[in-house]
């Protein structure tokens, strides 16, 4: 008996017609004899709507009640999907996280799934029932409803696949799979048939929004193969699994970009031991994530410039912390928030010499100035002026044979 976890995202269940369509997909799986655990998101836009309602009540809406509120979107989808299946004469029941239970720790809004009880659910699966479970929600040790972070239904699906020892975990969404770059911006973007966890992780944390990156991280950790596919077409999706099973003919698998970065330069800081630590320690204490760091050579041996990038919405906080930092002296601070981060990702990069130079040359051919650089084994990112984004992606996509 094959046990499948099928996860349906917000747009896949965005209307009652779509929920009926999803019910038909599940019905087909059942007619093939497969056991199905369906994990569902809230209907598209619902969670944002709920956030808005809480804001209308208060800027400091109670955390516990915020989770009760936000998790309700998934509850609606569960009931509607179960009803749609029953209407198709398919046995199905919804189970909310506290009924199963799905246990979490780590407080509210950003809780982590630590365990899921399987006995009851397995019993229903063995009785030929489809089990429908809300993504995104859990229950704390104290019995409070929790949520596990925006986009968290992916993480729920992966955790369920792991704990129930499922044969497959299929992420149904509104695109056919993972693309070599954003298909809405670059029409020649191609669907990737197979990709490793590591590459997927880089792509999803670099702005390719197909899957939540913490869910991919869990899949990598426990080696749970995933498949991303479209709810609206029968085309084959993208398989995500461990690197050994992939044979790389190309050095670069995909080009990602994000427009939520900002660059800060501190001009004229002292060039002596401890300065960098004094700059970055207070930032990290305030949960500000610093991405790239560059320190210029000091020309006078006394002072230097340090440039780094942070998320765009952290820029004001970052400048404030720097200004209040009595442990550093500098001439001035400048920033640029009209920047974008462009990254090439590929497990094949490790074994292909010259990828770095090829990327830099391509950008220079297009007259694009590189403002900062960072690298990892399978990724190369640069910061450029935001209005050059499209030009850069197009060029890189072409020179790395992805068109």
Q: List residues binding Mg ion (CB under 5 A).
A: 9-10, 41, 151
CB 218 within 8 A of CB 210: no
Out of ligand ASP, Mg ion, none, what residue 42 binds, judged by CB under 5 to 8 A for its kind, is ligand ASP
Least distance (Å) between residue 49 CB and ligand ASP: 10
Least distance (Å) between residue 374 CB and Mg ion: 28
User: Three-state SS across 322-358?
Assistant: HHHCCCCCCCEEEEECCEEEEEEECHHHCCCCCHHHH
Least distance (Å) between residue 329 CB and ligand ASP: 43
Longest dimension (CA), the chain: 80
Measured in degrees and rounded to the nearest 5, phi and psi for residue 38 equal -100, 130
Out of ligand ASP, Mg ion, none, what residue 308 binds, judged by CB under 5 to 8 A for its kind, is none
CA distance linking residue 71 with residue 351, whole number of Å: 45
Q: State yes or no: residue 394 binds ligand ASP (CB under 6 A).
A: no
Q: How many CB atoms lie within 10 A of CB 272?
A: 10
Out of ligand ASP, Mg ion, none, what residue 94 binds, judged by CB under 5 to 8 A for its kind, is none
Among positions 92-151, residues that touch ligand ASP (CB under 6 A) are 135-136, 150-151
Closer of 182 and 305 to Mg ion (Cβ): 182
First to last CA, the chain: 41
Closer of 10 and 254 to Mg ion (Cβ): 10
Out of Mg ion, ligand ASP, none, what residue 330 binds, judged by CB under 5 to 8 A for its kind, is none
Q: What b/e readout covers 252-266, taking b as 16+ CB neighbours within 10 angstroms?
A: bbbbbbbeebbbbbb
Q: State yes or no: residue 41 binds ligand ASP (CB under 6 A).
A: yes
Among positions 290-319, residues that touch ligand ASP (CB under 6 A) are none
Q: State yes or no: residue 14 binds ligand ASP (CB under 6 A).
A: no
Who's near 47: CB < 8 A, 6+ residues apart? Answer: 10, 70, 73, 136, 150
Put the strands of the sheet holding 145-147 in their side by side order.
112-116, 102-105, 137-139, 145-147
Closer of 135 and 177 to ligand ASP (Cβ): 135
Instruction: Please report, as ranges, the residues that interact with ligand ASP according to CB under 6 A.
Output: 10, 41-42, 47, 73, 135-136, 150-153
């Amino acid at each position: 008996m094959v046990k499948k976890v099928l996860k349906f995202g917000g747009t896949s269940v965005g209307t009652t017609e779509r929920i009926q369509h999803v019910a038909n997909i599940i019905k087909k799986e059942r007619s093939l004899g497969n056991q199905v655990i369906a994990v569902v998101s809230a209907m598209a836009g619902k969670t944002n709507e709920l956030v808005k309602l809480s804001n209308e009540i208060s800027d400091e809406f109670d955390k516990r009640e915020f989770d009760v509120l936000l998790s309700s979107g998934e509850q609606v989808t569960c009931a509607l999907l179960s009803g749609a299946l029953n209407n198709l004469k398919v046995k199905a029941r919804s189970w909310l996280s506290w009924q199963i239970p799905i246990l979490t720790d780590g407080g509210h809004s950003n809780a982590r799934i630590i365990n899921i009880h399987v006995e009851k659910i397995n019993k229903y699966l063995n009785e030929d029932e489809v089990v429908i479970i809300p993504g995104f929600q859990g229950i704390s040790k104290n019995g409070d409803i929790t949520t596990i972070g925006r986009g968290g239904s992916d993480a729920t699906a992966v955790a369920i696949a792991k704990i129930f020892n499922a044969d497959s975990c299929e992420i149904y969404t509104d695109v056919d799979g993972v693309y070599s770059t954003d298909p809405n911006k670059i029409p020649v973007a191609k669907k990737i048939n197979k990709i490793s966890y590591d590459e997927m992780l880089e792509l999803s944390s670099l702005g390719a929004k197909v899957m939540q990156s913490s869910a991919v991280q869990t899949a990598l950790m426990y080696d749970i193969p995933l498949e991303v596919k479209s709810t609206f077409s029968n085309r084959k999706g993208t398989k995500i699994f461990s690197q050994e099973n992939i044979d790389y003919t190309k050095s670069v698998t995909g080009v990602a970009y994000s427009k939520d970065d900002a660059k800060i330069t501190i001009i004229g800081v002292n060039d002596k031991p401890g300065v960098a630590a004094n700059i970055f320690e207070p930032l990290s204490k305030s949960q500000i994530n610093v991405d790239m760091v560059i320190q210029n050579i000091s020309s006078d041996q006394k002072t230097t410039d340090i440039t780094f990038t942070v998320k765009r919405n952290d820029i004001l906080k970052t400048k404030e912390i720097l200004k209040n930092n009595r442990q550093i002296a500098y001439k001035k601070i400048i920033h640029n928030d009209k920047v974008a981060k462009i990254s090439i990702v590929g497990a094949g990069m490790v074994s292909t010499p010259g990828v770095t130079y090829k990327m830099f040359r391509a950008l220079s051919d297009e007259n694009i100035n590189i403002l900062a650089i960072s690298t990892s084994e399978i990724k190369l990112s640069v910061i450029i002026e935001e209005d050059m984004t499209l030009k850069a992606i197009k060029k890189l996509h072409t020179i790395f044979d992805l068109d």
